[in-house]
Chains A and B, each alone.
Chain A
Amino acid sequence: MSEPVLRVENLTIDIPMSQGTLHAVRGIDFELKRGETLCIVGESGSGKSLTSLAIMGLLSKKMRCNAARLDFSGIDLRKQSPRAMRALRGDRMAMIFQEPMTSLNPAYTIGDQLMEALQLHRPVGRAEARARAIELLGKVGITAAESRLSQYPHQLSGGLRQRVMIAMALMCEPELIIADEPTTALDVTIQAQILRLLADLQREMNMAMILVTHDLGVVARIADKVVVMYAGEVVEKGSVREIFETPRHPYTRGLLRCIPVPGKTKPGEHLGSIPGIVPSLIGEVEGCAFRSRCDVAEAACASNVPARRTGGDHMYRCIHEVQPGAPS
């Protein structure tokens, strides 16, 4: 395939706090090509959202973001002025947020907000922007698109608002779309619809998509590549097949044990869980951050942990070469 749309190497995000520096994201690499879907999985506070904000250049000024490489379609994002970043955002890279209930401005109609997204970046007139808004509302499955344009956000349900947010992100046909837990605030039946919609649109428009989530069911359904994050670090990454069929890192395997499998999980059987809590990331973190909760931890885990590759793109960070008890 062609040149990757996004290439991230050794991304770190530090947040200065009164108790010391919080190393929220510690050395992330991945790359993403056109038409691919990358899922970032991890629990709350593992740095998934910060990573996506960093790519968009939306981190607050207090946070320090460093990367060996942060290229978007051949543009070095680290060197862009705020003005250049503004021109990229919304035009070539777009983002869908978690909370559809508050992501739309209550003071404007849906139509105004959709048209603004286009008119900020393209020299188009109102009529043209309006036509595009109607076209996209139809694409995201909203019926009676024309009459929806004059409605205010509070007149729409959560699912509809999230569809509007998706339409807004797609107004300028971005090359990269980042969806930060787009279905968390929606109920389950709507979640499935929205995900299918995102996957369809992504294929149709040949975009690269980053989907931040903590729902492994979602990952299994739409991801091409998976990045599993724990405590600000990539503990395992690979293709969706590699992650689900031959998970190497004990954290990934722990996560997979937590979801029921139809036909395999018997009624009444306890699902797996991972004991303990995520360690504090304030101050220097040495060794494997997962060792306090890991059932195969050893003394050596406290020192440097190698990044191992098992051929191809599958990478995991653990001192054990082949996991004891791992399915092979």
Chain B
Amino acid sequence: MARTIETVAEELRTPSPAAILRKRVFGHYGLVFGLCALAVFVALAVFAPLLTPHDPYAQDLLARMKPPFWMAGADPNHLLGTDHLGRDYLARLLYGARISLAIGLFAALISGLIGTAMGVAAGYFGGRVDLVVTFLINVRLAMPVVLVALAVVAILGGSLQVVVCVLGLLLWDRFAVVMRSSVLQVRDLEYVNAARAIGCSTRRIILREIMPNVVNNLIVVATLEMAHAILLEAALSFLGLGVQPPTPSWGLMISEGKQMMLFEPWLIAIPGVALFVLVLAINLLGDGLRDVTAPENRG
């Protein structure tokens, strides 16, 4: 077979970065699973009104404690049955996903902004800035999150906004710690010096030279903290200090189902499994994103 210059060149041609990225994303099963599962949850939450005709707040005392579809005596109108007040369990689950995702997202966003700003400043500038930030991180680490959250929510009253703010203001420590150490590693590399040598400003160096090389760590922390925030919200609601009834929250659903645990176990199993799968999906997604975006693996 004639191997012309063109065919050899074609063989040697490296695939485009986008093609490689695609291959790596789809070759990572954890990432694919996490992404799909999270996409499903988001879709369920967004399209909840279209997916169920029931109102999650509407009570029907004549149709209490209906079992879900896989058990005898299930009502085809209520696929996942009803709770102790006769509210449709599927509708409550779907609307509850909105609460969990919103809390996870916004709490991670707030704490991410605070923590990243502090961590990057400490890592880049060092010296006194670093001392102050490290002190603040230590202060924050000395506070038990659940207790502080309980106290604040007890004083201010539980609502979605309060819970988001409390979690956002409490979960920045890991962002700050991780960003500080990643920036410290990158700060003294020669390409940062080289950027200075071609005349970059401090702001440009932080945003353009340093951030892209530490952002993969940020993504991992952000997903872990998002999962963390979702679990904490469930825990606070379970203790009665998070989102208040009758708002549909998974933690609240588990809490309300716990009296009937021995007779109607699906009342806690269904939101419990949903919580488990969502947190698992987010964690897998974060792990996968870290593997795929690590700059040293690019190409």
CB of A135, distance to nearest CB on chain B (Å): 18
Task: Please provide the chain A residues from 90 to 143 with a CB less than 8 Å away from any CB of chain B in the complex.
Answer: 90-91, 94-95, 97-99, 102-108, 116-117, 120-121
B209 interface residue (CB < 8 Å to A): yes
Instruction: State whether B193 touches A88 (Cβ < 8 A).
Output: no
A208 interface residue (CB < 8 Å to B): no
Docked complex Cα distance between A296 and B280 (Å): 76
Number of interface residues of A (CB under 8 A): 33
Docked complex Cα distance between A105 and B296 (Å): 11
Q: Which of A90, A154, A155 contacts B197 (CB 8 A)?
A: A90
Q: Which of A98, A121, A155, A171 contacts B190 (CB 8 A)?
A: A98
Contacts of B195 in A (CB 8 A): 105
Contact with A along B206-226 (1 / 0, CB 8 A): 001100110000000000000
Instruction: State whether B197 touches A94 (Cβ < 8 A).
Output: yes
Contacts A105-B195, A152-B299, A154-B299 given: A86-B200 contact, CB under 8 Å?
A: yes
Instruction: State whether A104 touches B194 (Cβ < 8 A).
Output: yes
Contacts A102-B191, A105-B191 given: A87-B197 contact, CB under 8 Å?
A: no
Instruction: State whether B193 touches A58 (Cβ < 8 A).
Output: yes
Q: Which of B198, B200, B298, B299 contacts A168 (CB 8 A)?
A: B198
State the majority secondary structure of interface residues on A.
loop
B17 interface residue (CB < 8 Å to A): yes
A319 interface residue (CB < 8 Å to B): no
Q: Which chain A residue shows the least CB distance to B212?
A: A107
Contact with B along A148-173 (1 / 0, CB 8 A): 00111011000000000100110100
B4 interface residue (CB < 8 Å to A): no
Instruction: State whether B299 touches A120 (Cβ < 8 A).
Output: no
CB of A7, distance to nearest CB on chain B (Å): 21
Instruction: State whether A165 touches B194 (Cβ < 8 A).
Output: yes
Instruction: State whether A107 touches B197 (Cβ < 8 A).
Output: no
Contacts A86-B199, A108-B212 given: A154-B194 contact, CB under 8 Å?
A: no
Instruction: State whether A86 touches B197 (Cβ < 8 A).
Output: no
A89 interface residue (CB < 8 Å to B): yes
Contacts of A88 in B (CB 8 A): 199
Instruction: State whether A120 touches B213 (Cβ < 8 A).
Output: no
Instruction: State whether B213 touches A86 (Cβ < 8 A).
Output: no
Q: Which chain B residue shows the least CB distance to A178?
A: B197
Instruction: State whether A107 touches B199 (Cβ < 8 A).
Output: no
Contacts of B196 in A (CB 8 A): 58, 89
Docked complex Cα distance between A107 and B14 (Å): 18
Docked complex Cα distance between A99 and B298 (Å): 21
Instruction: State whether A97 touches B193 (Cβ < 8 A).
Output: yes
A56 interface residue (CB < 8 Å to B): yes
B201 interface residue (CB < 8 Å to A): yes
- For the complex of A and B, list the 10 residue pairs with the smallest distance between their C-beta atoms, beginning with the closest: A90-B198, A107-B212, A90-B199, A89-B199, A95-B197, A103-B190, A106-B295, A105-B191, A102-B190, A86-B199
26 contacts between A and B (CB under 8 A): A56-B197, A58-B193, A58-B196, A58-B197, A94-B197, A95-B197, A97-B193, A97-B197, A102-B189, A102-B191, A103-B194, A104-B194, A105-B191, A105-B195, A106-B191, A106-B296, A107-B212, A108-B212, A120-B198, A120-B199, A150-B16, A150-B17, A152-B17, A154-B298, A154-B299, A165-B194
Interface positions of A (Cβ within 8 A of B): 56, 58, 86-91, 94-95, 97-99, 102-108, 116-117, 120-121, 150-152, 154-155, 165, 168-169, 171
Interface positions of B (Cβ within 8 A of A): 14, 16-17, 189-191, 193-201, 208-209, 212-213, 295-296, 298-299
